[in-house]
Amino acid sequence: MIGPIVRALARQKIPALLMVLETAFGFAVAVHASGLALHYARAAAAPRGIDTRSLLLAMTERDGPSFASRGEREAAVRRDTEALARVVGVRGAAEASSAPFNITHRELVEATSPGGPSALAWMLDDRGGVAAVLGLAPLEGRLLTPGDAADAASTPAVVTQALAARLFPDGRAIGQIVRRSARQKPLAIVGVVPPFRAALGPDADSVLFAAEGPPLGRTLSYLIRIEPDGDDGDDGEDRDGDDRVGARVREALERADPRRVVLVRALDEGAELDTHTNRGAGALALTLIGMMLVVVFLGRIGMASLLVAERRQALGIRRALGATRADVARLILVENALLTTAGLAVGAAALAGLRAAARAVAPELDLPLDPRAAALVAVAVWLAGMAAALLPALRASAVSPAEASRS
Q: Which residues contact 217 (CB under 8 A, 6 or more apart)?
A: 66, 67
pLDDT in tens, 375-388: 999 999 999 989 98
Residues 23 and 152 both lie in one domain? no
In a domain, 53, yes or no: no
Residues 78 and 223 both lie in one domain? yes
Residues 385 and 301 both lie in one domain? yes
Residues 291 and 330 both lie in one domain? yes
In a domain, 405, yes or no: no
Rounded to whole angstroms, the Cα distance separating 207 from 198 reads 7
The pLDDT value given to residue 381: 92
pLDDT in tens, 286-300: 898 898 889 888 888
In a domain, 59, yes or no: no
Rounded to whole angstroms, the Cα distance separating 148 from 210 reads 9
Q: How far is CA 181 from CA 80, 122, 184, 239, 274, in A?
A: 33, 13, 8, 40, 26
Rounded to whole angstroms, the Cα distance separating 173 from 158 reads 10
CA neighbours within 13 Å on the CB side: how many for 99? 27
Largest CA distance in the chain: 100
Sheet of strand 55-62, all strands in order from the earlier edge strand to the far edge: 90-95, 219-226, 55-62, 260-266
Answer yes or no: are the C-beta atoms of 159 and 177 closer than 8 Å: no
In a domain, 107, yes or no: yes
Q: What pTM, to 2 d.p., does this model score?
A: 0.69
In a domain, 264, yes or no: no
pLDDT in tens, 338-370: 889 999 999 999 888 877 776 666 665 566 778
Rounded to whole angstroms, the Cα distance separating 221 from 360 reads 40
pLDDT in tens, 257-274: 888 899 998 888 877 777
Q: What is the mean pLDDT of residues 107-125?
A: 83
Rounded to whole angstroms, the Cα distance separating 321 from 27 reads 38
Domain assignment of residue 15, given as a range: 2-44+275-400
Number of domains in the chain: 3
Among 303, 346, 300, 341, smallest CA distance to 25 is for: 346
In a domain, 49, yes or no: no
Under the banding of pLDDT at 50, 70 and 90, the label for residue 150 is: low
Residues 105 and 172 both lie in one domain? yes
Which domain-ending residue is among 196, 226, 258? 258
In a domain, 56, yes or no: no
- 22, 23, 29, 31 alpha-carbon torsion, rounded to 10°: 180
Report which residue type is found at 177: I
Rounded to whole angstroms, the Cα distance separating 234 from 120 reads 39
Residues 25 and 124 both lie in one domain? no
**Looking at residue 235, which CATH number applies to its domain?**
3.30.70
Residues 300 and 375 both lie in one domain? yes
The pLDDT value given to residue 230: 44
